[in-house]
């Protein structure tokens, strides 16, 4: 189990990888981001993406799955309780057939002033495709239980 | 159609609303955020959420759908092309049966220095439940085509 005290700045964890199909991209978009460049392969060619692109929200949500199921995600004492996300960027789109993998790095930790049994840990997530190109990055703050409150 | 010139600071737009069922919460969580407090109603009672809670990523993705399908989303000249998201917060969880509605406000606009036919518009999104309680807020920057480049 990983507690607040264990998450020292600089520690990093890799996730497994996942491949997104064209069907996955269409299905997410229909439910959460129904814009033509995420759904219609032909019209998407004429868009700013020059081809079918996954919703940025899908790239982020798929990354959440990878992080939750990683050794890191399964080891954090109380689960991944997010307080919020900053600096989320999608420097290039995820394409059908892309295989995504993420890396989580501990940026900093601070004991909570309001809840003495918890600390707040800042993480940086970076998601890359099979060409090692960044498709998403963000900074996330999570609550983590102290081993010795 | 709404172009860059039309999106002046202070303008705001409301979306329609959507109700999330327990099944919706379970289904999203299984695919994108498989933590017990999003899936297992009984164990969720013992979690920090004191009951089943939707993944924050689902609250955000559902808000994206509301915004895309709003009059605002359907009117922006080139669609909602997000550059990134900052200050995303989930001050309280979305619960099964909650009805969510969002409001989008224009914060600022700036012509792009690299792409003279586009501007970058900063928006603030706030999503509330049926009790008018905030469940999510974020700041988003989108590319918007100029009417008169």
- Please state the ipTM of this predicted complex: 0.95
Mean pLDDT of chain A: 96
Q: Taking a C-beta distance cutoff of 8 angstroms, is the pair A107, A86 a contact?
A: no
| Pick from B31, B80, B88: CB nearest A65 | B31
List, edge to edge, every strand of the sheet that includes B81-89. A12-19, A99-111, A118-128, A134-145, A81-89, B81-89, B134-145, B118-128, B99-111, B12-19
pLDDT for B46 beyond 90: yes
Q: Taking a C-beta distance cutoff of 8 angstroms, is the pair A74, A17 a contact?
A: no
Contact between B68 and A35 using a beta-carbon 8 Å cutoff? yes
Neighbours of B135 (CB within 10 A): 25
Neighbours of A8 (CB within 10 A): 11
Q: How confident is the model at residue A45 (pLDDT cuts 50, 70, 90)?
A: very high
Q: How confident is the model at residue A79 (pLDDT cuts 50, 70, 90)?
A: confident
Q: How confident is the model at residue A78 (pLDDT cuts 50, 70, 90)?
A: confident
Beta bridge partners of A86: A139
Beta bridge partners of A127: A102, A136
Q: Taking a C-beta distance cutoff of 8 angstroms, is the pair A98, A130 a contact?
A: yes
Q: Taking a C-beta distance cutoff of 8 angstroms, is the pair A72, A78 a contact?
A: no
User: B82: which chain A residues are within 8 Å (Cβ-Cβ)?
Assistant: 56, 90
Distance CA B68, CA A10 (A): 38
Q: From the CA of A34, how many Å to the nearest CA of chain B?
A: 7
Read off the pLDDT of residues A85-132 as tens digits, 9 standing for 90 and up. Answer: 999 999 999 999 999 999 999 999 999 988 899 999 999 999 999 999
Mutate to test the interface with B, among A18, A56, A93 (most CBs of B within 10 A): A56
Beta bridge partners of A137: A89, A126
- By a Cβ cutoff of 8 Å, what residues of chain B touch chain A? 31-37, 47-48, 55-57, 60-62, 64-65, 68-69, 78-90, 143
The pLDDT, as a whole number, for residue B78 is: 82
User: B84: which chain A residues are within 8 Å (Cβ-Cβ)?
Assistant: 87-90
- Contacts of residue A131, defined as CB under 8 A and 6 or more positions apart, other chains included, come to none
Distance CA B39, CA B56 (A): 13
Beta bridge partners of A19: A99
CATH class assigned to A4-145: alpha beta
Mean pLDDT, residues B14-32 taken together:
98
Q: What are the E-state strand segments in chain B? A: 12-19, 81-89, 99-111, 118-128, 134-145
Q: How confident is the model at residue B23 (pLDDT cuts 50, 70, 90)?
A: very high
Alpha carbons within 13 A on the beta-carbon side of B64: 29
Sign of the alpha-carbon dihedral angle for A25, A92, B58, B141: negative
Characterize the bridge pairing of strands A118-128 and A134-145. Answer: antiparallel
Neighbours of B8 (CB within 10 A): 11
Q: Taking a C-beta distance cutoff of 8 angstroms, is the pair A80, A7 a contact?
A: no
pLDDT for B138 beyond 90: yes
User: B36: which chain A residues are within 8 Å (Cβ-Cβ)?
Assistant: 79
User: A60: which chain B residues are within 8 Å (Cβ-Cβ)?
Assistant: 57
Q: How confident is the model at residue B79 (pLDDT cuts 50, 70, 90)?
A: confident
Kindly state the helix (H) or strand (E) to which residue A37 belongs, with its residue range: helix A36-39
Contact between A48 and B78 using a beta-carbon 8 Å cutoff? yes
Contact between B57 and A55 using a beta-carbon 8 Å cutoff? no
Q: Taking a C-beta distance cutoff of 8 angstroms, is the pair A29, A38 a contact?
A: yes
What's the whole-model pTM score? Answer: 0.96
The pLDDT, as a whole number, for residue B77 is: 85
- By a Cβ cutoff of 8 Å, what residues of chain A touch chain B? 31-37, 47-48, 55-57, 60-62, 64-65, 68-69, 78-90, 143
The pLDDT, as a whole number, for residue B59 is: 98
Q: From the CA of B47, how many Å to the nearest CA of chain A?
A: 8
Contact between B86 and A90 using a beta-carbon 8 Å cutoff? no
Q: From the CA of B87, how many Å to the nearest CA of chain A?
A: 5
């Amino acid at each position: 189990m990983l507690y607040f005290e264990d998450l020292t700045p600089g520690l990093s964890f890799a996730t497994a990888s996942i491949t997104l199909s064209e069907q996955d991209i269409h299905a997410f978009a229909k439910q959460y981001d129904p814009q033509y460049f995420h759904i219609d392969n032909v019209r998407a060619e004429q868009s700013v993406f020059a081809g079918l692109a996954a919703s940025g929200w899908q790239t982020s949500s798929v990354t959440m799955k990878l992080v939750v199921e990683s050794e890191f995600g399964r080891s954090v004492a109380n689960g991944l309780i997010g307080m919020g996300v900053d600096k989320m960027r999608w420097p290039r789109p995820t394409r059908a057939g892309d295989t995504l993998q993420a890396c989580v790095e501990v940026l900093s930790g601070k004991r909570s002033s309001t809840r003495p049994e918890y600390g707040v840990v800042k993480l940086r997530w970076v998601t890359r495709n099979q060409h090692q190109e960044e498709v998403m990055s963000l900074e996330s703050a999570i609550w983590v239980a102290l081993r010795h409150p």
